[in-house]
Structure 1
Amino acid sequence: MVAVSAIMTAGGAMAADTAEDARFKAIYSAEWTWREHQRADDEDSGDRISPHLPDVGPAAQADRLRMWTDVTAKLAAIDPAKLSAENKVNFEIYKDQIATLLTAQRYRDYEKPLNADTSFWGNVAGTARQSFKTEQDYRNYLSMLGEMPRYFDQQIANMKAGEARGFTPPKITVEGRDATVTSITDPKTVEENPFYAPFAKMPATIPAATQEELRAAGAAAIRDKVIPAHRTLLAFLRDEYIPHAKVALDAYSLPDGKAYYQSKIKEFTTLDLTPAQIHQIGLDEVAKIHAEMLDVMKEVKFQGDLPAFLTFLRTDPRFYAKTPDELLKDAAWIAKRFDGKAKDWFGHLPRSRFAIIPVPADIAPFYTGGRGGPGVYLVNTYNLPSRPLYSLTALTLHESAPGHAFQMPLAAENKDLPPFRQNTYISAYGEGWALYCEKLGVEMGMYETPYDRFGMLSYQMWRAARLVVDTGIHSEGWSREQAQKYLHDNTALADHEIETEVDRYIAWPGQALSYYLGEKTILDARAKAEKALGPKFNIRAFHDTVLQMGSVPMPVLQARIDRFIAEGGKGPYPDEE
């Protein structure tokens, strides 16, 4: 006899929890608890100040390989047919997560803990920009600072192992990145060090004497732990790692490169596509968007061809902010304009809010134009002539609301989801959703001028062109210059941004493929639902259904929209219209 108990599904219905469900829950609960202890603080970790940096040494890496190998075997023993309807979906998502983690561990991705614009030391530095509210936050921070020498030594050892087998980012993408370390090693006083920032202004709820104690301990930790760890790293980068990084750009030149690149395609797109198939999709989509761009040129009565129009957009002063403050204020105004439209397009809104802040100066030269996540929308104010205002609306919809500032918080706030769905990020889903939000801006009336709409199209073209460029670099022998020229000729991106973007694609194989393929999946699913449901289609219900799932592989999203159609377009929340 099978024991059953009642559980509440995400849609509010009751479902039977079978013995097989219990077995599955025991597997993922144990692994997730273990996995949480492996995590580092990084720029997307929200308000949590962890007292520890992760163990990334050889024994810990071997433990991760054993754990995910063992979990894979346990999942193979589960019969999905015996799971509840809700857990059938959970099983598919969780199995994909574990397969991705295990594959990355087998390829020893941890031996390359950096790319062109992101690094383990940069992620740690992000902790200093978090919100410190309590004495315990500061004590956790002090504990973390004390672990920095151990953590940096382990990462350097991993990088040396990667270097020995030719598993490094290409040299061109890491040259000059040592400058992101000197911002920690060079300040003349501890108080000027970025890691001291949380101590500069402390909450009034912490007694003055305790504040002084914490400041003194912080200054000592920065002087005795943080700065020496960064000096060791800086010497390693300058004397060994950067000079000996591999010269070839393509993923195929890495150990077992063809299989490795295919694994990255699967990880970042969750789809079974070959590089050649993706390359062709990119070429086809670029051609479609090109035609839409020409329509906007006719609308503004521009006399000339597309290259001339792109030159005009890149050089006319009217399209660029004169001060960093102007750029930040324009981004804030766009975000507030969306707030006035949100209720018409979404039935369920996140409780979490976000701040708009500039990208820190030490990483800004190598960073993207903007980046968002729970609690923050980072706007890059470095090199203002490369930050066009006509693209700012699209950027803001993507990086703040309703893009990343909706998707990630709504997943975290959905207590009906198991934790492995609340707190993980699948690039095809997250980036696909954010790019979809850029396009949704047309329907929402967010683009006030044809130039703004062209900025959106340029961003769509940018992501479609990534399909061509990423596969071109990593599977078809494209040069860095060839990739830059392709973006220069097809998008309105500034040349500085083109350079930083191409270096990101070179150093991070496959990640650039997630955006457009994820958006295309959402758009295709919406078109299918609109056709099937006709007048019953409700855009708020559709958006709530997509966002209610958390971060999921694309086949899971497609199946959920098929169920949305079968249920007559009903949204996931009881009060859905």
Structure 2
Amino acid sequence: MRGMVAMAGALWFLGAPGVLAQSGPSDAVPKLNAIYQAEWEWWKNEMAEEPDDERPGEESDHLARVDEASQQARLAHLQAVLADVNRIGTASLTGEDKVNAEIFRTILEERISDLRFKTYQTPFNADSFFWTEFTPREGFPDQEAYRRYLGRLADVPRYFDEHIANMRAGLKRGFTVPKVSVMGRDKTIEPYLATDDTNPLFLPFTQMPANIAAGDQERIRSEARDVIAKQIAPAYTKLLEFIRKEYLAKARTSISASTLPDGAKFYQARIEKFTTLELTAEQIHQIGLGEVARIKEEMQTTMQKAGFKGTLPEFYQFLRTDPQFYAKTPHQLIAEAAYIVKKSDLKLKDTIGTLPRFRHGILPVPDALAPIYTGGRGGLESCLFNTYNLPARPLYTLPSLVLHECTPGHSFQAALALEAPERPKFRNDVYFSGYGEGWGLYTEWLGRVMGIYETPYEEFGQLTYEMWRAARLVVDTGIHHYGWSRDQALQYMKDNVALSTHEITTEVDRYIAWPGQAVAYKLGELQIRRHRRDAEQALGPKFDQRKFHDAILALGAVPLPVLEQRMAQFIADGGENPSTPSRDPADHSN
């Protein structure tokens, strides 16, 4: 309930959502700021997070309510807030105030879209699951945090029951995850059936800090064992039975989003959510075909540079099968990733002007997720790399993966966001795939400028990853708009991308289960590279890539149209940025 006092004060100023009077330009900013604060507090409360804690995103002592009534109440609330924002009249806003309003409106529209289409009825996909999302990777800092965690564990039975009810409603109307893309994912539930200390949810109790007295530690561990045995394991057992006997048995056999209720509008809404652009599936498909053709020409050149005498498909096969390109042990892969991060660190001073103080670690993907997980994923605290099935994890693509997920990609972005200047709190707690994934893919190309790639094979690996994202534009729209089969999508990827069959299969299944998400990467990257070309041409010798990158990163996550406006201003300002002092990472008040 913390934060509700501030929320109440903001609502007192505004009146209840949906009844805001028309505002003039002079009072638009304070009224918007009051809405921002109230909604940030409200949303954190809805998502069972503690908005006033020292660490942003710290979870509460319970899990969020996900039942139908709560979801529809959120929809009504958000629609009323959007109506209030529209009545304020944001056209007269300028500078940071305009950016705040455009981001906030986009957030509202995305959340409203999700709730209208009832995406909560499909609460998992090919590699992301509600039953694993609250599994900690490490211990907590103090006894209060452990108490909150115990509360969340005790709330799991209720949380799962609400998800099960939602999935049953989805089954009834034919709105489900495609069966083919989630077969075998039920195995990720099995580790949580353990009633002893091997249960993944017990991990934090093996890493308790010294600031908790030994006697208190033992009492907390005893409580945890009791909760896991009596509530967690039974809840997961019930969930597993439902997934295996009911959900997978009745899940739809079609794979295209267009076959869902109101499917064409749903897929277009997914495209707009993930890209923040108003592009059609047909336009994206054509962009993808053009990029595939362009990149294939670059691949031919790089293959010849490597001295390979055969065809491009033969080179793909060589790369997929030659032992020199694969780690022998998990440690070798993790160590190579760490080395690439340090190579990137060395080049940062020449690449980006503002560097964060926060540092991330590198960890393997947890064993329970590894068989169906992507090759890597970045985050504020750590980058994860998949050490499962090493013959499917080529080292020649690892530099690109590290740049994208770690530094200067997602982990680096997250650290900058943590230390960003003070702005409305919702700005530090939002993610737009077109911007974030676009930057991640751009950093793979930027590795050429930074000198990260040491061999033609690693250069080909960068092109492989770029081709992979270009092929996604074709495959995602092929599946969800043009009605491609899974085999057709797999074959297109195999014909054009030098990834292993295992990686291609897990990726295609992800596109099937998560329509629209995969197209954000390439579209965002294309826009950023276009901005760079425009800036280089307009500014000539005054172009400084450090300032260019600062202009992008200082925004934090934004819709791509907002980035478009900012980069036009960057050029108009002669390639200079306004002074924006960062915050100390120890100050998490915002």
Could you state the TM-score of these two structures normalised by the residue count of structure 1?
0.94
Of residues 178, 188, 197, the one that matches 1:180 is 188
TM-superposed CA distance for 1:532, in Å, is 1.0
Say whether the 8 Å CA contact 1:72–1:98 is kept in structure 2: yes
Cα 1:213–1:47 change in 2 (3 A) is: farther
State how far apart, in whole Å, the 2-side matches of 1:47 and 1:56 are. Answer: 18
Question: 2:421, 2:581 within 8 Å by CA — same for their partners in 1?
Answer: no
Question: In 2, Cα distance between the equivalents of 1:19 and 1:471?
Answer: 44
Q: Secondary structure at the match of 1:346?
A: coil
Q: Does 1:420 align with 2:433?
A: no
2:555 alignment counterpart: 549
Residues 381-407 of structure 1 deviation map (CA, whole Å, 9 limit, x = unaligned): 000000000000000000001000121
- Equivalent of residue 268 in structure 2, options 259, 262, 265: 262
Which residue of the partner structure matches residue 5 of structure 1? none
Task: Note the C-alpha offset of 1:49.
Answer: 4.2
Give the superposition deviation at 1:416. Answer: 2.6
The equivalent of 2:172 in structure 1 is: 164
Counterpart amino acid of residue 268 in structure 1: F
Q: Confirm or deny that 1:301 pairs with 2:311.
A: no
Query: 83-92 or 53-62, which moves further after superposition?
Result: 83-92
After TM superposition, list the pairs within 5 Å mapping 1:110-125 onto structure 2: 110-125=120-135
Aligned to 1:143: 151
Whether 2:45 is the aligned partner of 1:34: answer no
For the residue of structure 2 that corresponds to 1:357, the secondary structure is strand
C-alpha distance in 1 between matches for 2:41 and 2:94: 23
Q: Distance in 1 between matches of 2:336 and 2:95?
A: 46
Q: How does 1:357-506 map to 2 (within 5 A)?
A: 357-506=363-512
The answer on whether the counterparts of 1:249 and 1:479 sit within 8 Å (CA) in structure 2 is: yes
Deviations 1:29-86 (A, max 9, x none): 2112101112267xxx977343221011122112211111101110110222343432
Aligned partners of 1:487 and 1:352: how far apart in 2?
Answer: 37
Distance, in Å, in 1 between the alignment partners of 2:216 and 2:57 is 22
Amino acid at match of 1:220: D
2:286 counterpart (280, 289, 292): 280
CA positional deviation for 1:575: 8.9
> Is the counterpart of residue 318 in structure 1 residue 328 in structure 2?
no
In the TM superposition, residue 574 of structure 1 has moved relative to its aligned partner by: 6.3
- Cα 1:334–1:65 change in 2 (3 A) is same
Q: After superposition, what is the alpha-carbon deviation per residue over 1:218-266, rounded to whole angstroms, capped at 9, x for unaligned?
A: 1111111111110110010011001100000000001100000000000
8 Å contact 1:279–1:468 — kept in the other structure?
yes
Which secondary structure does the structure 2 equivalent of 1:373 belong to? Answer: coil
| Counterpart check, 1:225 vs 2:235 | no
* Identity level (%): 51
Select between 309-318 and 527-536 the one with higher mean Cα deviation.
Answer: 527-536
Kindly indicate whether the alpha-carbon contact (under 8 Å) linking 1:18 and 1:83 is maintained by their aligned counterparts in 2.
no
Q: Which amino acid aligns with 2:186?
A: D
Give the partner amino acid of 1:515. Answer: Y
CA distance in 2, matches of 1:61, 1:49: 19
In 2: Cα distance, 1:573 partner to 1:502 partner: 44
Q: Kindly tell me: are residues 575 and 549 of structure 1, through their superposed partners in 2, closer, same or farther at Cα, counting changes over 3 Å?
A: closer
Q: Counterpart in 1 of 2:119?
A: 109
- Residues 541-570 of structure 1 deviation map (CA, whole Å, 9 limit, x = unaligned): 111110010111111001001111111111
SS of corresponding position for 1:340: helix
Give the counterpart letter for 2:257 in structure 1: A
Match of 2:109 in 1: 99
Match of 2:545 in 1: 539
After TM superposition, where is structure 1 displaced by more than 3 Å over at least 4 residues in a row? Answer: 572-576
Say whether the 8 Å CA contact 1:518–1:554 is kept in structure 2.
Answer: yes
**Aligned 8 A contact 1:413 1:422 in 2:** no
Q: 1:26 to 1:402 in 2, by over 3 A?
A: same
- Provide the C-alpha distance between the structure 1 equivalents of 2:303 and 2:530, rounded to a whole number of angstroms: 27
Letter in 2 for 1:27: I
Q: Secondary structure at the match of 1:80?
A: coil
Does structure 1 conserve the Cα–Cα contact (< 8 Å) formed by 2:48 and 2:59? Answer: no
Residue aligning to 1:81: 91
Taking the aligned partners of 1:115 and 1:361, their CA distance within structure 2 comes to 18
The letter for the 1-side match of 2:174 is G
Call closer, same or farther: CA 1:350–1:40 in 2, change over 3 Å.
farther
Deviates more, 1:276-285 or 1:23-32: 23-32
Aligned length: 553
Flag the 1:321–1:53 CA change in 2: closer, same or farther, 3 A.
same
Unaligned runs of 5+ in 1: 1-16
Kept in 1, the 8 Å contact 2:362–2:383? The answer is yes
Q: Does 1:205 align with 2:215?
A: no
Question: In 2, Cα distance between the equivalents of 1:230 and 1:357?
Answer: 26
C-alpha displacement of 1:137? 1.4
CA–CA distance in 2 between the matches of 1:522 and 1:461?
17
SS of 1:129's equivalent in the other structure is coil
Question: Equivalent residue of 2:384, what SS?
Answer: strand
Q: 2:152 is matched by which residue type in structure 1? A: M
**Which amino acid in structure 2 is aligned with residue 36 of structure 1?**
K
User: Gaps spanning 5+ residues in structure 2: where?
Assistant: 1-24, 50-54, 583-590
Instruction: Kindly provide the amino acid, as one letter, of the partner of residue 461 in structure 1.
Output: M
Opposite residue 488 of structure 1, the aligned amino acid is K
**Alignment partner, residue 346 of structure 2:** 340
Contact 2:85 2:105 in 1 (8 A): yes
State the TM-score, normalized to the length of structure 2. 0.92
Q: For residue 509 of structure 1, what is the amino acid of its counterpart?
A: P
Aligned pair 1:62/2:33, yes or no? Answer: no
Give the Cα separation in 2 of the matches to 1:416 and 1:54: 28
AA aligned opposite 1:118 = S
